[in-house]
Chain A
């Protein structure tokens, strides 16, 4: 049992927890948050495994996680924009039904 393996396990557990949340919730925003928990789990596995050689940290997984962080924030932001648009349309539809 060493530190990289320990944190890689924590990452795997976070991934599983996020997957459970993604599947169990019906609310779209809960799904988006759960997806981000899954992403955090994946990043943790990467960074933990970069420490497999305790003397020299591997820079390649670090660079990949940096890329992944920016991609995941832009994907999340776009998903939230779509969600807001959906909410606004549902609201407009509801009020027009109300009037007629």
Chain B
């Protein structure tokens, strides 16, 4: 009973926040509502026994996306952009609302009568877990059983960085390249405390990911949060053209993963088919390089430039 009460409140919170995100008159309010929605989503994952997703959501959905949106909002205000914010006419909006409601009803209907899965992937994955080299089933699926998905995902991250490099340009106002927060003793103390702690948590999540909730994604996003903190306090500065170190860091995940994926063909016979005894070690190597690339690319996406350098102070 008490569980249903909690789930009910959670559902009401999710829907209300989603609705306010969409209909708030002011952009700023909508962004704040969306950030809170991310926190509620993280709670929801915890309720649905998905701790791996909850960890990633808390770092990405509530943290990084919020920082990205607020930064873009700041840039739009700084440019005094006259956005084309003509919304749909009331009559059009009303019919769109009705259409969306019909769609929701249809989806609910489809979910109610969704067929049983033909192939029980869940049972298959759990049956072969012992062969995967790791104990956490989610890590096993990500890095072993469906490693192809993850390989392509790192490719997408790399493409996002390439896109950033292509369209990036030096921000005109000098404030954008310096510190965003006034430097003070308190800030310095806070950064000195939080940055090493963040790195420690990130590396722990990577290590724990083999057998418990965690892994390269969660670790990478926590490290990216450290990068955001360092950028805000001016300890990292944007750089139009990435230096060799940055290029190496951005590509190391993709390179190591591809090299191992191809390198195991003579032994295993197929792309990404790790030899049994080596699977655990190979997964740790891949995850470590993935963590570096994910953290660096997400930080650069926040900074908004393809490269970075150390700032003064």
A interface residues (Cβ-Cβ under 8 A, vs B): 3-10, 12-21, 23-30, 32-34, 36-37, 40-41, 43-45, 47-51, 53, 56-60, 62-67, 69-71, 73-78, 80-85, 87-88, 90-91, 94
Could you list 19 examples of A-B contacts with CB < 8 Å? A10-B11, A10-B14, A15-B104, A21-B21, A26-B84, A27-B27, A29-B73, A40-B61, A47-B44, A47-B45, A59-B137, A59-B140, A60-B125, A66-B56, A69-B56, A77-B301, A78-B164, A90-B82, A91-B79
- What is the chain B residue whose CB lies nearest that of A79? B72
- Tell whether A59 pairs with B84 under 8 Å between CB atoms, given A9-B111, A14-B14, A91-B79: no
Q: Chain B CB within 10 Å — which of A15, A21, A26, A49 has the most?
A: A21
- A57→B50 contact, CB < 8 A: yes
Q: A74-B301, A88-B79 are in contact. Are A34 and B122 (CB under 8 A)?
A: no
With an 8 Å Cβ cutoff, the count of chain B residues facing the other chain is 94
The answer to whether A34 touches B41, judged by C-beta atoms less than 8 angstroms apart, is no
Give the distance in Å from the alpha carbon of A5 to the alpha carbon of B11 in the complex. 12
**A59: nearest chain-B partner, CB-CB:** B137
The CA-CA distance from A45 to B122 in the complex, in Å, is 17
Q: Using CB atoms, name the residue of chain A closest to B20.
A: A17
CB contacts (< 8 Å) of B168 on chain A: these are 81
Whether B96 and A74, one on each chain, are in contact in the complex, defined by CB atoms closer than 8 angstroms, is no
Q: Are the CB atoms of B138 and A56 closer together than 8 Å?
A: no
Q: Are A40 and B19 in contact (CB under 8 A)?
A: no
Q: B44, B71, B87: which contacts A24 (Cβ < 8 A)?
A: B87
Known contacts A40-B41, A69-B217; decide if A83 and B76 are in contact (CB<8 Å).
yes
A73 touches B64 (CB 8 A): yes
Q: Report the minimum CB–CB distance from B77 to chain A (whole Å).
A: 10
Q: Does B142 contact A (CB under 8 A)?
A: yes
B101's partner among A16, A23, A24, A30 (CB-CB below 8 A) is A16
Which residues does chain B contribute within 8 Å of A81, judged by CB atoms? 163-164, 167-168, 301, 304
B174 CB, nearest partner CB in chain A, Å: 15
A17:B140 contact, CB within 8 angstroms: no
Assembly CA distance A58 to B142 (angstroms): 13
Contact assessment for B53 and A29 in the assembled complex, using a CB-CB cutoff below 8 Å: no
Q: Which residues of B contact A17 (CB under 8 A)?
A: 15, 18-19, 22, 100
How far is it, in angstroms, between the C-alpha of A67 and the C-alpha of B93 when the chains are bound? 34
Q: Please determine whether B141 and A60 come into contact, CB atoms closer than 8 angstroms.
A: yes
A75 contacts B160, CB within 8 Å? yes
Q: How far is the CA of A73 from the CA of B87 in the complex (A)?
A: 26
Contact A53 B87 (CB under 8 A): no
Query: Are A78's CB and B69's CB within 8 A?
Result: no
Among B150-158, B191-199, B243-251, the stretch that binds chain A is B150-158
